[in-house]
Amino acid sequence: MDASRQENITRILDAAERLFRHYGYTKTNVADIARDLGMSPANIYRFFSSKTEIHQALCARMLEASYQQVYEISRLPLSATERLRRYVLAQHKMTVETMLDEQKVHEMVIVAIEREWHVIEKHIDRIDQLLAEIIRDGIEAGEFADQDPEIAARCFDSSVVTLCHPQMAAQCLAKENRPTPGELIDFALRALKK
């Protein structure tokens, strides 16, 4: 992709994200994005076929930031246990700060989840691959019981989903009858050690 095309795509995505955050996903249309950029809607359609395609690209961009955070944690020179703990805490913090504190971003995420976009499934698979690598390291170091790292990664990730899934985190955050993030992480880590 040439630099000029990529620059236009980035400008469109930046404007769309700014407008989605300010007005909300449902209240923003392609004409609004074009007006914000001082161009015609037809020009936007040269790069994206629809508002949904713009939203999917924004979703992929946000998920890439999440993946990079997990990737960096997975490469830290720490025990597997500590890397998994940091992974969950970082993802929980990102979910709370980015997706819940900013209601309009939360709306974008909910739309993406409800439509079951492939970018969400791809993201989950990529995260689980990193978790499997960490768990494999933990098995080799004697921290965790001998087990299939891929299955363990999926189970570990599923066990802490209430901390990282925007809808579940939003529903569980203020409930007193839910475990704290630390309690849930400790429980999930103990399951890997048995």
Residues in the chain: 194
Report d(CA 127, CA 69) in Å as an integer. Answer: 10
User: Is the pTM here over 0.95, yes or no?
Assistant: no
Per-residue pLDDT tens digits of the chain, which is 194 residues long? 688 888 989 999 999 988 887 887 788 899 999 999 999 999 999 999 998 889 888 888 888 888 999 999 999 999 999 999 999 999 888 877 776 555 556 566 666 666 666 777 888 899 999 999 999 999 999 999 999 999 999 999 999 887 777 666 666 666 777 778 889 899 999 999 97
Domain residue limits, the chain: 1-49, 59-193
1-49 and 59-193 share one fold: no
CATH assignment, 1-49: 1.10.10.60
**Integer Cα distance of 98 and 17 in angstroms:** 13
Q: Which class would CATH give 59-193? A: mainly alpha
